[in-house]
Structure 1
């Protein structure tokens, strides 16, 4: 299976914290949009999510979003 070259894309991806598996995911254009999506995922799955830069070779972590506390 060939690897998809993401070096031409700019944007951000959202993944569960510590998850380095390769799978299809959405690329968000802005950090604000990716952060909002990460917060939604963190809240619904009750675990931290990370926002990562796509155009970095190592997919540098930009932000870690923790789930909000339930009232």
Structure 2
């Protein structure tokens, strides 16, 4: 809460990287920037031949931000 009595939303920012369609609960890293999360998704997708999603780490109207398919280049 900030001084005005509203929730400070700056702490509710970040992105996670998961295999596409994976909804299991497990500990994961929260990346601060979309670019950083996208880079990690690309690194994971290629060797595993599986698409990865960059998702909002916290509840938003748009949970899946980006899907990285295997073979996509930077």
Q: TM-score range by the shorter chain?
A: 0.7 to 0.9
* Cα deviation, residue 9, structure 1: 3.7
TM-score by length of 1: 0.78
Q: Which runs of 5+ in 2 are unaligned?
A: 1-8
Q: Which has the larger radius of gyration?
A: 2
Residue in 1 that maps onto 2:58: 55
Query: 4+ runs of 1 displaced by more than 6 Å?
Result: none
**1:25 Cα deviation from its structure 2 partner:** 0.6
Q: Distance in 2 between the 1:64 and 1:34 partners? A: 11
Q: Which residue of 2 aligns with 1:45?
A: 48
* RMSD after superposition: 2.1
